Chains A and B, each alone.
Chain A
């Protein structure tokens, strides 16, 4: 799982040396930013169901055709799966905030996503809309502190870029 610490340790191990001052400084920098990301992770975890619902609703209101017959949300089961997927992305973003890197999104969200969506004929634009809505809906200080919000939005943007 890619994070600052594992990257540093992998590099040190490849060179066969003990953690150097540079490595410790890199970890220190990561730790300094950790308070904000952990705050964002906590707030996101607390509001995950609500965030998911709002994002999914925004997506279906922008693309109402999705609920027509033959489309990705033609029946309730399929609609539920869309909300489940959004919750999945939110959970992975929560993990990224905890780790302080894009490892969880890369490994469990993005790798292979395009191929899966293409073969299931799912529109990625709908996911992008849901994530964009969440990004623009989140505000500070109502939801979290400015720095935490910044961390949160950067991971949402990362997911959006991967799906766009």
Chain B
């Protein structure tokens, strides 16, 4: 497993060169934006159950066949497995965002995930859709652009009370990790 720093080390080692100027600038940026990154990870982890259940619910709303007899989210046992997997995927994405590198996501989550799902008969398209919804709500939480949606009295709605700032780079980075999962499933 690598983080942003050890990724720089591994690629410098392949060139047999010390790490200087250009590569250090990127790492200095990681350091300078460090607090934003921690807030972003916190925004995901603090709202994890909401993000996951919302994504799975949304996936089912778009395809109600999933919870009818014979569907892949029927009975509760399989629905629970679905929620569990959503949480696992989101957890590895939060690790990747914390580390600033996708290797932990690749090695420990995506490696063999598609094959496992095919073997278990899990519909990849639905799984990818749930991840896409998690991407939308996670990036909204990081950016604090989340809304109550169609329900104006949504009781679970909350905003992180962090100082407002430019989080576009982090949002874009987080989005790449979700896209990586979607890419790995399709």
Contacts and interface: CB of A to CB of B under 8 A. Distances in A.
A28 B35 contact: yes
A3 B6 contact: yes
Nearest to A104: B9
A137 to B, nearest CB: 18
Main SS class of interface, A = helix
A19 B44 CA distance: 10
Interface string B60-99: 0000000000000000000000000000000100110011
A19 B2 contact: no
A17 B90 CA distance: 11
B19 A45 contact: yes
Contacts, number: 112
Contact of A3 (B5, B20, B35, B108): B5
Given A34-B31, A95-B12, A104-B9, A9 B19 contact: no
Contacts of A3: 3, 5-6
Given A1-B2, A3-B3, A9-B104, A95 B19 contact: yes
Interface in B1-28: 1-3, 5-6, 8-10, 12-13, 16-21, 24, 27-28
**Which of A10, A17, A41 has the most C-beta atoms of chain B within 10 angstroms of its own C-beta?**
A41
B9 A24 contact: no
Interface residues on B, range: 35 or more
Interface in B112-148: none
A6 B19 contact: no
Nearest to A94: B18
B31 A38 contact: yes
Interface residues of A, number: 39
Given A42-B20, A98-B27, 12 more contacts: A3-B3, A8-B98, A9-B95, A13-B108, A19-B98, A21-B42, A27-B34, A31-B31, A35-B28, A38-B27, A45-B18, A45-B20
Interface of B: 1-3, 5-6, 8-10, 12-13, 16-21, 24, 27-28, 31, 34-35, 38, 41-42, 44-45, 48, 91, 94-95, 98-100, 104, 108
